[in-house]
Amino acid sequence: MLYPFKFQPILKDKIWGGQKLQKILKKPTTSAEAGESWEISDVQGDTSIVSNGTMAGTSLKSLMELHTTELLGHKNFQQFGTKFPLLIKFIDAKLALSVQLHPNDALAKSRHNSFGKTEMWYVVQADSDSNLIVGFNQPMTKELYLKHLEAKTLECILNFDKVDAGDTYFIEVGRIHAIGAGVLLAEIQQTSDITYRVYDWDRVDSEGNHRELHNDIALEAFDFDMPDNYRVNYSRDSQTSTELVSCPYFTTNVIEVKTSLLVKNNHDSFMIYMCVEGSAVINIEGYQTEFSMGETVLIPACIKSFSISTNHAKLLEVYI
Question: What is the rounded distance in angstroms from the CA atom of residue 116 to the CA atom of residue 223?
Answer: 14
Is residue 118 pLDDT above 70, yes or no? yes
236 falls within a domain: no
Domain hosting residue 57, numbered range: 10-221
Q: Say if residues 234 and 244 touch (Cβ distance below 8 Å).
A: yes
Q: Work out whether strand 131-136 and strand 177-179 pair parallel, antiparallel, or are unpaired.
A: antiparallel
What is the widest separation between alpha-carbon atoms in the chain? 63
- Same domain for 114 and 69, yes or no, is yes
- Say yes or no: 82 and 34 in one domain: yes
CATH number at residue 285: 2.60.120.10
Domain boundary among the residues 157, 187, 221 is at: 221
Mean pLDDT of 142-155: 96
Given 186, 221, 256, the domain boundary residue is 221
State the pLDDT at residue 239: 67
- Does residue 67 sit in the same domain as residue 170? yes
Same domain, residue pair 133 and 278: no
Do 181 and 213 reside in the same domain of the chain?
yes
**Prediction pTM value:** 0.96
Residue 296 has a pLDDT of 98
Same domain for 273 and 199: no
Quick one: 256 and 135 in the same domain? no
pLDDT digits (tens, 9 = 90+) for 222-273: 999 999 999 999 988 766 789 999 999 999 999 999 999 999 999 999 999 9
My answer on whether 174 and 63 are in the same domain is yes
Indicate if 185 and 70 belong to the same structural domain: yes
Mean pLDDT score, 141-161: 96
pLDDT tens-digit profile of 121-132?
999 999 999 999
Q: Are residues 172 and 282 in the same domain?
A: no
Mean of the per-residue pLDDT values of the chain: 96
Residue 3 lies in a domain: no
| Domain presence at residue 230 | no
Whether residue 197 is predicted with pLDDT greater than 70 in this model: the reply is yes
Q: Are residues 207 and 251 both part of a single domain?
A: no
pLDDT (mean) for 59-79: 98
pLDDT-derived band at 1 (thresholds 50, 70, 90) equals confident
Domain count, the chain: 2
Assess if residue 234 is contained within a domain: no
Residues with catalytic function:
197
Residue 98 lies in a domain: yes
At which of 221, 251, 278 does a domain end? 221
**263 in the same domain as 183:** no
Asked if residue 233 belongs to a domain, the reply is no
Residue 5 inside a domain? The answer is no
What is the mean predicted confidence (pLDDT) over 165-184? 98
Q: Say if 4 falls within a structural domain.
A: no
